[in-house]
Structure formats: structure tokens, C-alpha cells
Structure 1
């Protein structure tokens, strides 16, 4: 319970400090993703004349996919450098640095909650009222948190010794953004190759949000995908924690 309160307090402080030096402050945390959505909407719907998807306007389909992606991208980028950023805490023997990745991910979740609320409002304004499927929104938020956390201890530990990893993560995210069916429909891929898309854990989350807001499908209606997703998270977490445990004793010597 004490650690939980500490995580919440540190997360709030981290969120404020991140934009403390700018004139508009935390406004930028919300403004940047909105601009990106507007740009992609203009390119695909206005420029390429993309029509409705499953009877829903393209912009609604796009938002449902980009909202979980923004959280994943921001959280992973932020958490990768958490030990270097909080080096003054890492060097304190009495401080439990194991919570720092959780702090950074929680900090990123504040904007994520805002965008989910904004997405619901946009759907309502377009005539699509909340229904019983919205009950699974917390589940997919948990999935997104879990998949970031499962690799966070690996990336944040390795980057202490190999600083170029932070740039590799950024480039990898740019590539993953286009490999994940966020701005394009997975039905564009031949059915015999769709299993390749499902190897990507983000596929499960993105399609989960669209199943919630558009397709009206419960997550337990995809038992194989669900078991695969949590299996990947478990394996990733075990590998990450093993690497983290091995490197952790040497953090203070490098930072």
C-alpha cells in the first residue's frame, strides 16, 4: 500500500515536471496526439477519400486504433530512460528503484485516460452511445499497461549501459506503427498471411479497442488470441526481469 501511494505521487510529479519548462505546460501532452490524429484524418479521409469502415466514419475507426497506440508509444519511450532520468534515486540505497518503470508508465496513462474519455465523447456526438461492450475498456487498458511493463525492465536496464538503445526504440516504434493495422485495415492482408499480424501483441489491443467501439465483440470471443497475448506478456516479463536483476547491481557504477 505504501509503494502504491508512492507510485501515484511520483507519477503525478513526473507528469508535471515533464512539461514544467514550457510556457503552455501539460497542454502539449494533449495537443500533440490531437494534431497527429487530425493530420492522418486529413491525409486518409480527405486526401485518399477513405470511406466508412464497418459502417462507421473513417475518423472514428482511426481514433479507436490510434488511442491505444499513443499510450504504448509514449509509455515505452518514456520508461526506457527512467533509470537515467532518476539517477539520483537509483544511487540511493534505501530507495526501491523497481517501481520507477511503473511510475513512468502510470504517468503516461494520465493522457491515455483523457483520450479515451475524449474518444467516447466524439462517438456520442456522432450518434453512437455507450453500450455494455464499454465494460471491457479497463481490460484493454490493463493489456496495454501489461505489454509495456513486460519489456520495460529490459529496455530501461540495457539503455543504462547501451545508450543508443533509446534511439533504436524510437525507430522501432516508427516501423511498428506501420506494421500494426492502426491506419489500415487488417482485411487488406490476404487471409493466409493474417496470422503474421497476430504475432504482434499490439494487434490484439488495437483490434480490442475496435471490437469495443465498433465491431461489438467481447475479448473472450477470441480465446486463442487472448491466451497468446498473455503468454507473450508473461515470457517477455520473465526475460526482462532476468536481465534487469543481472544488471541492476551495476547501475550506480555507470550512472
Structure 2
């Protein structure tokens, strides 16, 4: 029987991972890995999110989505109509994130620098995946979680995309695909990809969705006010920028 891991990891992205026609306004790709201790996630994270949703909606079926909250669209359109309500909502959401315990490991791929440095650059998503898995693996081994089975939860994007992502994930973990001169062995921990439907109402994926964009903006505009990043900063254990 596989020993269950002490952690569950939710992954979200922000930005286009293509290297053609790079957007000068956002020339990066961010992959954010949000790591929760399983017991903490079950007994703390989920219940806090449910309490927040019921407070503002009287049900828990709304999906927290950073883009929709920021643009005040869909389930968040009510934020346009009442300034006091909007401020309370955002303050409560910020406090919620502060009080939920998780760690963030983020990979920032600077696509402009990548294409300038390499004639045939690797796919930014694949690069982010490799670096993220390696960093988290080393941290879990350091935490003495060797021998565990750890699940990485991704949001479904489509069968073709999901199949390609799973193939790349397994190639990395088997040592069959990497960038860099040094071999990396994932022999002490079993990593497994899991794909969740956008409508699954996953607490972990919703929290991960709130992290990637602020991290990217902090890299691009470090001197600009970034309240969302300030809230996340204490949870960020490492940000790797490549190249």
C-alpha cells in the first residue's frame, strides 16, 4: 500500500506560455505551486473558504476567480454597486488568505529573455513544471517526507492539453526530460498528477488562482504598489526566475 503524503499541492498559472508574438505588457509566464498540509487543508482551509462564501452568498457554490473578482464580473458584479460592501468583501478575502496556512513555490519564466538567450527555447510551461517539481521534491525530502505519495492538482484545460501535461509531468519525474547539465532523481517520493474540472469547486485550486498574477506583477513592476503580493509574501518560500 502506498503511504499517503502529508501534503497536497495545487497548481495554477498566469500568462500565455507561448513564445510567439510575446505580449510586451506581460512578457512572462508564472506557474504557482501552493502546498498544503493535508490535515490543515481538510480541517482549516476548506472550512474558512466555506464560511467566507456563505457570509456573502448564503451558499458555497460560487467559484473564487481572481480575474472575475478584479474585473467585478459574474458572481462578483455586486461589488460594483456598493463601495462599502466591496471594501468589506476585499478586506475579508485578504484576511482569509492571511489566515490560511500554505506555502507558495513559484516559477517565473521571462519569455522575452528566454527567446533572446535560446534559439529554440523549451516551452515555458514545461520549464516551469520541471523547476517547480524539482524544488518541491528537494523541500519534501528535507522535511523528511521521503517515501510518500504526493498529488499535484491541475485544472483541466482540454483532453489534448491535459494529456500533454501529464506526459511531461511523468517524463520529468522519471528523469526522461529536463533542462540543465545535472541529473535529477525523483526516487524517494512518488508524484502523481490529478486533473480537476473547472466546476469542481476545489478550495485549493481557487486559492492557487489568487496567487500567480500578483507574483508576476511583482516581478515586472517591483516598485509598484501590489497589495495582493504583500498579503502573499509571508507564504512565498521561493520564487525561481528563468533564465
Per the normalisation by structure 1, the TM-score is: 0.28
Higher RCO, 1 vs 2 (CA within 8 Å, ≥6 residues apart): 2
Higher strand share: 2
Q: Look at both structures and tell me which one has the larger radius of gyration over its CA atoms.
A: 1
Higher helix share: 1
Per the normalisation by structure 2, the TM-score is: 0.29
